[in-house]
Amino acid sequence: MRPPCEIIVRFVLPALRSLIARELIEKHGFSQVVAAKKLGITQATISHYLYSKRGEKYLKQIEHMDNIRKMVKEVANDIASGELSSLDMISRFCDVCSQLRTKHLLCNMHKDVTLLPDACNLCANL
Protein backbone atom coordinates (compact mmCIF):
# COMPACT_ATOMS: atom_id res chain seq x y z
CA MET A 1 0.00 0.00 0.00
CA ARG A 2 1.36 3.39 -0.97
CA PRO A 3 0.12 6.56 0.72
CA PRO A 4 -0.72 9.56 -1.49
CA CYS A 5 2.37 11.44 -0.33
CA GLU A 6 4.57 8.72 -1.83
CA ILE A 7 2.94 9.34 -5.22
CA ILE A 8 3.81 13.03 -4.90
CA VAL A 9 7.42 12.33 -3.97
CA ARG A 10 8.05 9.59 -6.53
CA PHE A 11 6.21 11.02 -9.53
CA VAL A 12 4.90 14.57 -9.15
CA LEU A 13 7.93 16.35 -7.66
CA PRO A 14 10.36 14.98 -10.26
CA ALA A 15 7.96 16.01 -13.04
CA LEU A 16 7.62 19.53 -11.60
CA ARG A 17 11.37 19.90 -11.22
CA SER A 18 11.85 18.65 -14.77
CA LEU A 19 9.40 21.20 -16.18
CA ILE A 20 10.91 24.06 -14.16
CA ALA A 21 14.45 23.04 -15.15
CA ARG A 22 13.50 22.96 -18.82
CA GLU A 23 11.88 26.37 -18.53
CA LEU A 24 14.95 27.84 -16.81
CA ILE A 25 17.34 26.42 -19.40
CA GLU A 26 15.29 26.92 -22.57
CA LYS A 27 13.52 30.21 -21.81
CA HIS A 28 15.89 31.94 -19.40
CA GLY A 29 19.25 30.71 -20.68
CA PHE A 30 20.38 29.10 -17.42
CA SER A 31 23.12 26.50 -17.57
CA GLN A 32 22.38 23.08 -16.12
CA VAL A 33 24.69 23.84 -13.19
CA VAL A 34 22.95 27.12 -12.31
CA ALA A 35 19.46 25.63 -12.74
CA ALA A 36 20.44 22.71 -10.51
CA LYS A 37 21.75 25.05 -7.83
CA LYS A 38 18.56 27.12 -7.89
CA LEU A 39 16.41 23.98 -7.58
CA GLY A 40 18.60 22.38 -4.90
CA ILE A 41 19.42 19.33 -7.02
CA THR A 42 22.48 18.10 -8.88
CA GLN A 43 23.51 18.89 -12.45
CA ALA A 44 23.31 15.16 -13.17
CA THR A 45 19.65 15.18 -12.14
CA ILE A 46 19.01 18.11 -14.49
CA SER A 47 20.66 16.14 -17.29
CA HIS A 48 18.44 13.15 -16.55
CA TYR A 49 15.38 15.42 -16.66
CA LEU A 50 16.40 16.98 -19.96
CA TYR A 51 17.06 13.63 -21.59
CA SER A 52 13.87 12.05 -20.22
CA LYS A 53 15.51 9.62 -17.85
CA ARG A 54 13.70 10.87 -14.73
CA GLY A 55 10.32 12.30 -13.93
CA GLU A 56 8.68 10.95 -17.08
CA LYS A 57 5.95 8.70 -15.69
CA TYR A 58 3.45 11.51 -15.17
CA LEU A 59 5.27 14.35 -16.91
CA LYS A 60 2.94 14.43 -19.92
CA GLN A 61 -0.15 14.29 -17.73
CA ILE A 62 1.10 17.03 -15.40
CA GLU A 63 2.37 19.38 -18.09
CA HIS A 64 -1.05 19.43 -19.73
CA MET A 65 -2.75 20.74 -16.59
CA ASP A 66 -3.29 24.47 -17.09
CA ASN A 67 -2.83 25.42 -13.44
CA ILE A 68 0.41 23.41 -13.20
CA ARG A 69 1.78 24.84 -16.45
CA LYS A 70 1.03 28.35 -15.15
CA MET A 71 2.75 27.62 -11.83
CA VAL A 72 5.83 26.23 -13.60
CA LYS A 73 6.19 29.38 -15.70
CA GLU A 74 5.67 31.65 -12.68
CA VAL A 75 8.22 29.76 -10.58
CA ALA A 76 10.77 29.79 -13.40
CA ASN A 77 10.22 33.51 -13.99
CA ASP A 78 10.54 34.25 -10.28
CA ILE A 79 13.70 32.15 -10.00
CA ALA A 80 15.18 33.88 -13.05
CA SER A 81 14.41 37.33 -11.65
CA GLY A 82 15.78 36.41 -8.22
CA GLU A 83 12.42 37.06 -6.54
CA LEU A 84 11.84 33.56 -5.18
CA SER A 85 13.36 32.37 -1.92
CA SER A 86 13.73 28.68 -1.16
CA LEU A 87 10.87 28.94 1.34
CA ASP A 88 8.66 30.50 -1.33
CA MET A 89 9.55 27.68 -3.71
CA ILE A 90 8.64 25.06 -1.10
CA SER A 91 5.33 26.84 -0.55
CA ARG A 92 4.59 26.79 -4.29
CA PHE A 93 5.31 23.06 -4.50
CA CYS A 94 2.98 22.48 -1.54
CA ASP A 95 0.30 24.52 -3.33
CA VAL A 96 0.55 22.16 -6.32
CA CYS A 97 0.11 19.17 -4.04
CA SER A 98 -2.99 20.76 -2.51
CA GLN A 99 -4.43 21.51 -5.94
CA LEU A 100 -3.85 17.94 -7.09
CA ARG A 101 -5.60 16.59 -4.00
CA THR A 102 -8.60 18.93 -4.00
CA LYS A 103 -9.27 18.48 -7.71
CA HIS A 104 -9.02 14.67 -7.39
CA LEU A 105 -6.13 14.59 -9.86
CA LEU A 106 -3.91 12.85 -7.33
CA CYS A 107 -6.58 10.17 -6.88
CA ASN A 108 -6.21 9.07 -10.48
CA MET A 109 -2.43 8.82 -10.16
CA HIS A 110 -2.78 7.01 -6.83
CA LYS A 111 -5.18 4.44 -8.30
CA ASP A 112 -2.75 3.84 -11.18
CA VAL A 113 -0.03 2.59 -8.84
CA THR A 114 -1.87 0.88 -6.02
CA LEU A 115 -5.03 -1.14 -5.57
CA LEU A 116 -7.70 1.10 -4.07
CA PRO A 117 -11.47 0.86 -3.90
CA ASP A 118 -13.37 2.99 -6.43
CA ALA A 119 -15.02 4.90 -3.58
CA CYS A 120 -11.67 5.97 -2.07
CA ASN A 121 -11.56 9.68 -1.19
CA LEU A 122 -8.45 9.66 0.98
CA CYS A 123 -6.50 12.14 -1.18
CA ALA A 124 -9.23 14.76 -1.05
CA ASN A 125 -9.51 14.50 2.74
CA LEU A 126 -5.82 15.05 3.53
The tens digit of pLDDT for each residue in 29-55 reads: 999 999 999 999 999 999 988 887 655
CA dihedral 94, 75, 18, 95 (to 10 degrees): 10
* Sequence spans of domains, the chain: 4-113
Name the more confident of 86 and 115: 86
State the pLDDT at residue 14.
87
- Calculate the average pLDDT of the chain: 83
Considering the entire predicted model, what is its pTM? 0.82
pLDDT band at 117 (very low <50, low <70, confident <90, very high): low
